[in-house]
Amino acid sequence: MVLVPIVDRNDTIIWHKERSQIQDNDIHRVSACRITNNHWDILLAQRGLTKKHSPGYRGPAVAGTVEWDETYLENILHEIPEEIGITLTEEDLIKGPHVFSNKKNEYFVQWFLSTCDLPIESFTKEEWKVEALQWWNPNILDKEIARWEIDFLGSIKNWRKLFT
């Protein structure tokens, strides 16, 4: 059983729920990491095809639901090696925007930013979490999002605006 903090609109913990019991109107916490290389390409992950939410959609390189005993930072530091097979330290991360999302479900996301110049072959993905990883040129990515929006998480336009 994984407990997740439920928060109010000020991101203050008001309750804990089992992850599988979260409802669309339960505000929870998510950490996400935007990884770029020195050419400003953006690393995107295609979500695992067996994921409960948005299977097969493309989104940030790493993202995870914060658990009851974690901070946003602790969560992202353990999600990175789990999902893409590299280890980053707190010094490798820049704390980015902290935003509220109220698309299909409601959550706060704390963004972290990092630069990594590894070739795609250097990453090892956790199969059920990540189907594929790919470096994307930002200009091509924006054109693909406009053309094939259905292949990307609904929030991708919002977070692309945060970082342009």
CA distances from 30 to 40, 105, 108, 112 (A): 24, 12, 6, 11
Q: Is pLDDT above 80 for 154?
A: no
How many alpha carbons fall within 13 Å on the CB side of residue 114? 23
d(CA 152, CA 66): 22
Domain ranges of the chain: 3-162
**CATH 3.40.50.300 given to domain 3-162:** no
Q: What is the pTM of this model?
A: 0.92
pLDDT digits (tens, 9 = 90+) for 68-118: 999 999 999 999 999 999 999 999 999 999 999 887 789 999 999 999 999
